[in-house]
Structure 1
Amino acid sequence: MNGALKSPTRCRQAGASELVVHGRTKEDGYKAERINWQAIGEIRQRLTIPVVANGEIWDWQSAQDCMAVTGCDSVMIGRGALNVPNLSRVIKYNEPRMPWPQVVQLLQKYTRLEKAG
Protein backbone atom coordinates (compact mmCIF):
# COMPACT_ATOMS: atom_id res chain seq x y z
CA MET A 1 0.00 0.00 0.00
CA ASN A 2 2.99 2.34 0.19
CA GLY A 3 2.38 3.67 -3.31
CA ALA A 4 -1.25 4.27 -2.43
CA LEU A 5 -0.31 6.79 0.24
CA LYS A 6 0.57 9.43 -2.40
CA SER A 7 -2.73 9.29 -4.28
CA PRO A 8 -5.04 10.48 -1.48
CA THR A 9 -3.20 13.79 -1.17
CA ARG A 10 -3.45 14.25 -4.92
CA CYS A 11 -7.18 13.47 -4.77
CA ARG A 12 -7.65 16.14 -2.11
CA GLN A 13 -5.62 18.65 -4.11
CA ALA A 14 -7.82 17.90 -7.13
CA GLY A 15 -10.90 18.87 -5.13
CA ALA A 16 -12.17 15.66 -3.54
CA SER A 17 -14.42 16.36 -0.56
CA GLU A 18 -14.42 12.76 0.70
CA LEU A 19 -12.36 9.66 -0.02
CA VAL A 20 -13.23 5.96 0.23
CA VAL A 21 -10.19 3.75 0.77
CA HIS A 22 -10.10 -0.03 0.51
CA GLY A 23 -7.64 -1.80 2.77
CA ARG A 24 -6.28 -4.22 0.18
CA THR A 25 -4.50 -3.91 -3.14
CA LYS A 26 -5.47 -5.63 -6.35
CA GLU A 27 -2.59 -8.04 -5.79
CA ASP A 28 -3.99 -8.93 -2.35
CA GLY A 29 -7.19 -10.14 -3.98
CA TYR A 30 -9.94 -11.21 -1.59
CA LYS A 31 -7.60 -12.61 1.05
CA ALA A 32 -9.05 -11.53 4.39
CA GLU A 33 -5.70 -11.80 6.13
CA ARG A 34 -4.28 -9.17 3.75
CA ILE A 35 -6.61 -6.40 4.92
CA ASN A 36 -4.61 -3.37 6.03
CA TRP A 37 -6.84 -1.09 8.07
CA GLN A 38 -3.71 0.55 9.52
CA ALA A 39 -2.88 1.95 6.08
CA ILE A 40 -6.36 3.45 5.87
CA GLY A 41 -5.69 5.08 9.24
CA GLU A 42 -2.43 6.54 7.95
CA ILE A 43 -4.27 8.01 4.97
CA ARG A 44 -6.98 9.43 7.22
CA GLN A 45 -4.36 11.12 9.39
CA ARG A 46 -2.83 12.83 6.35
CA LEU A 47 -6.07 14.29 5.06
CA THR A 48 -8.46 16.97 6.29
CA ILE A 49 -11.40 15.54 4.35
CA PRO A 50 -13.51 12.61 5.60
CA VAL A 51 -12.11 9.16 4.82
CA VAL A 52 -14.46 6.18 4.57
CA ALA A 53 -12.94 2.78 5.31
CA ASN A 54 -13.73 -0.24 3.15
CA GLY A 55 -12.73 -3.89 3.27
CA GLU A 56 -13.67 -6.91 5.36
CA ILE A 57 -16.76 -5.29 6.89
CA TRP A 58 -19.06 -8.24 7.51
CA ASP A 59 -20.97 -7.36 10.68
CA TRP A 60 -21.31 -4.86 13.53
CA GLN A 61 -18.13 -6.00 15.27
CA SER A 62 -15.93 -5.84 12.19
CA ALA A 63 -17.24 -2.34 11.47
CA GLN A 64 -16.45 -1.27 15.04
CA ASP A 65 -12.99 -2.83 14.84
CA CYS A 66 -12.28 -1.16 11.51
CA MET A 67 -13.35 2.27 12.76
CA ALA A 68 -11.24 1.83 15.90
CA VAL A 69 -8.12 0.93 13.90
CA THR A 70 -8.57 3.51 11.13
CA GLY A 71 -10.06 6.37 13.09
CA CYS A 72 -12.69 6.69 10.36
CA ASP A 73 -16.23 7.70 11.30
CA SER A 74 -17.86 5.58 8.63
CA VAL A 75 -17.40 2.44 6.57
CA MET A 76 -18.50 1.32 3.14
CA ILE A 77 -19.78 -2.20 2.55
CA GLY A 78 -19.36 -4.26 -0.57
CA ARG A 79 -19.49 -8.03 -1.01
CA GLY A 80 -20.95 -8.49 2.45
CA ALA A 81 -24.19 -6.85 1.35
CA LEU A 82 -24.64 -9.56 -1.27
CA ASN A 83 -24.51 -12.17 1.47
CA VAL A 84 -26.45 -10.25 4.12
CA PRO A 85 -29.16 -8.05 2.55
CA ASN A 86 -29.71 -6.11 5.78
CA LEU A 87 -26.00 -5.59 6.44
CA SER A 88 -26.36 -1.82 6.74
CA ARG A 89 -28.81 -2.29 9.63
CA VAL A 90 -26.63 -5.03 11.16
CA ILE A 91 -23.74 -2.55 11.22
CA LYS A 92 -25.65 0.57 12.24
CA TYR A 93 -27.97 -0.94 14.86
CA ASN A 94 -26.24 -4.24 15.73
CA GLU A 95 -29.34 -6.07 14.48
CA PRO A 96 -29.19 -9.80 13.73
CA ARG A 97 -28.57 -10.93 10.18
CA MET A 98 -31.64 -11.60 8.08
CA PRO A 99 -32.55 -15.29 8.50
CA TRP A 100 -31.92 -17.44 5.43
CA PRO A 101 -35.64 -18.20 4.77
CA GLN A 102 -36.29 -14.45 4.67
CA VAL A 103 -33.34 -13.96 2.28
CA VAL A 104 -34.84 -16.62 -0.01
CA GLN A 105 -38.21 -14.80 0.02
CA LEU A 106 -36.45 -11.56 -0.83
CA LEU A 107 -34.60 -13.18 -3.72
CA GLN A 108 -37.85 -14.64 -5.02
CA LYS A 109 -39.47 -11.20 -4.85
CA TYR A 110 -36.56 -9.64 -6.76
CA THR A 111 -36.83 -12.39 -9.37
CA ARG A 112 -40.57 -11.73 -9.83
CA LEU A 113 -39.98 -7.98 -10.13
CA GLU A 114 -37.17 -8.48 -12.63
CA LYS A 115 -39.29 -10.78 -14.78
CA ALA A 116 -42.15 -8.28 -14.67
CA GLY A 117 -39.80 -5.63 -16.02
Structure 2
Amino acid sequence: GYDSKGDAIVSNDSPKSSPSASTKRGKAVRIDPNKPKRNMSAYLHFQNAMRATFKNENPGMTFGQLAKYTSQKFKNLTDEERAIWEGKAAEDKRRYETQIRAYVAPKNKVVGGDSKVG
Protein backbone atom coordinates (compact mmCIF):
# COMPACT_ATOMS: atom_id res chain seq x y z
CA GLY A 1 0.00 0.00 0.00
CA TYR A 2 0.84 3.67 -0.07
CA ASP A 3 0.61 6.40 2.56
CA SER A 4 -1.02 9.82 2.15
CA LYS A 5 2.13 11.24 0.50
CA GLY A 6 2.17 8.49 -2.11
CA ASP A 7 5.20 6.72 -0.67
CA ALA A 8 5.20 2.93 -0.48
CA ILE A 9 4.56 1.51 2.98
CA VAL A 10 7.27 -1.01 3.84
CA SER A 11 6.91 -3.46 6.71
CA ASN A 12 9.98 -3.98 8.88
CA ASP A 13 8.60 -7.16 10.44
CA SER A 14 10.42 -9.67 8.21
CA PRO A 15 14.13 -10.33 8.74
CA LYS A 16 16.55 -9.47 5.97
CA SER A 17 17.08 -12.31 3.53
CA SER A 18 20.63 -11.32 2.63
CA PRO A 19 23.44 -10.59 5.07
CA SER A 20 23.97 -6.93 5.77
CA ALA A 21 26.94 -5.15 4.29
CA SER A 22 28.51 -4.76 7.74
CA THR A 23 28.81 -8.54 8.17
CA LYS A 24 30.59 -9.12 4.85
CA ARG A 25 34.34 -9.38 5.09
CA GLY A 26 36.66 -8.76 2.20
CA LYS A 27 40.39 -8.68 1.82
CA ALA A 28 42.20 -6.35 4.17
CA VAL A 29 42.99 -3.06 2.51
CA ARG A 30 46.63 -2.08 2.67
CA ILE A 31 47.11 1.62 3.15
CA ASP A 32 50.31 3.10 1.80
CA PRO A 33 52.07 4.81 4.73
CA ASN A 34 53.60 7.31 2.29
CA LYS A 35 50.23 8.51 1.01
CA PRO A 36 49.58 12.12 2.11
CA LYS A 37 47.14 12.56 4.99
CA ARG A 38 43.75 14.00 4.06
CA ASN A 39 43.07 17.63 4.78
CA MET A 40 41.14 18.52 7.93
CA SER A 41 38.01 20.64 8.12
CA ALA A 42 37.80 23.88 10.07
CA TYR A 43 35.95 22.02 12.83
CA LEU A 44 38.68 19.38 13.14
CA HIS A 45 41.37 22.07 13.41
CA PHE A 46 39.29 23.78 16.12
CA GLN A 47 38.66 20.50 17.94
CA ASN A 48 42.32 19.47 17.95
CA ALA A 49 43.46 22.88 19.17
CA MET A 50 40.83 23.22 21.89
CA ARG A 51 40.45 19.63 23.15
CA ALA A 52 42.97 19.93 26.00
CA THR A 53 41.55 23.28 27.14
CA PHE A 54 37.97 22.02 27.16
CA LYS A 55 39.03 18.82 28.92
CA ASN A 56 40.75 20.83 31.67
CA GLU A 57 37.73 23.14 32.04
CA ASN A 58 35.36 20.14 32.29
CA PRO A 59 37.25 17.22 33.87
CA GLY A 60 34.12 15.18 34.58
CA MET A 61 32.87 15.07 30.99
CA THR A 62 32.80 11.81 29.07
CA PHE A 63 34.19 11.58 25.55
CA GLY A 64 30.71 11.99 24.04
CA GLN A 65 29.81 14.93 26.28
CA LEU A 66 33.09 16.62 25.40
CA ALA A 67 32.40 16.12 21.68
CA LYS A 68 28.96 17.74 22.04
CA TYR A 69 30.45 20.59 24.07
CA THR A 70 33.15 21.19 21.45
CA SER A 71 30.58 21.09 18.66
CA GLN A 72 28.40 23.65 20.44
CA LYS A 73 31.39 25.94 21.05
CA PHE A 74 32.29 25.75 17.34
CA LYS A 75 28.72 26.56 16.30
CA ASN A 76 28.74 29.61 18.58
CA LEU A 77 31.95 31.11 17.16
CA THR A 78 31.70 34.59 15.70
CA ASP A 79 32.37 35.03 11.98
CA GLU A 80 35.81 36.46 12.77
CA GLU A 81 36.72 33.54 15.03
CA ARG A 82 35.42 31.01 12.52
CA ALA A 83 37.43 32.68 9.73
CA ILE A 84 40.63 31.76 11.59
CA TRP A 85 39.74 28.07 11.50
CA GLU A 86 38.44 28.27 7.93
CA GLY A 87 41.80 29.77 6.95
CA LYS A 88 43.66 26.89 8.58
CA ALA A 89 41.40 24.42 6.76
CA ALA A 90 42.01 26.16 3.41
CA GLU A 91 45.76 26.11 4.02
CA ASP A 92 45.60 22.41 4.90
CA LYS A 93 43.56 21.71 1.75
CA ARG A 94 46.21 23.41 -0.39
CA ARG A 95 48.88 21.31 1.35
CA TYR A 96 46.96 18.11 0.64
CA GLU A 97 46.28 19.00 -3.00
CA THR A 98 49.96 19.79 -3.57
CA GLN A 99 51.12 16.57 -1.90
CA ILE A 100 48.57 14.33 -3.62
CA ARG A 101 49.56 15.69 -7.05
CA ALA A 102 53.19 14.79 -6.32
CA TYR A 103 52.28 11.39 -4.83
CA VAL A 104 52.82 8.29 -6.93
CA ALA A 105 51.00 5.18 -5.72
CA PRO A 106 53.10 2.01 -5.60
CA LYS A 107 52.43 -0.45 -8.42
CA ASN A 108 51.14 -4.03 -8.01
CA LYS A 109 49.75 -3.41 -4.54
CA VAL A 110 46.25 -2.99 -3.24
CA VAL A 111 46.21 0.60 -2.10
CA GLY A 112 43.28 2.45 -0.61
CA GLY A 113 41.83 3.81 2.54
CA ASP A 114 39.09 6.17 1.49
CA SER A 115 36.67 3.40 0.55
CA LYS A 116 34.21 2.53 3.26
CA VAL A 117 33.15 -1.08 3.62
CA GLY A 118 29.91 -1.68 5.44
TM-score where L is the length of structure 1: 0.25
Question: Higher helix fraction: Structure 1 or Structure 2?
Answer: 1
Question: Higher strand fraction: Structure 1 or Structure 2?
Answer: 1
Q: Larger Cα Rg: Structure 1 or Structure 2?
A: 2
Q: Which has the higher contact order (CA 8 A, sep 6+)?
A: 2
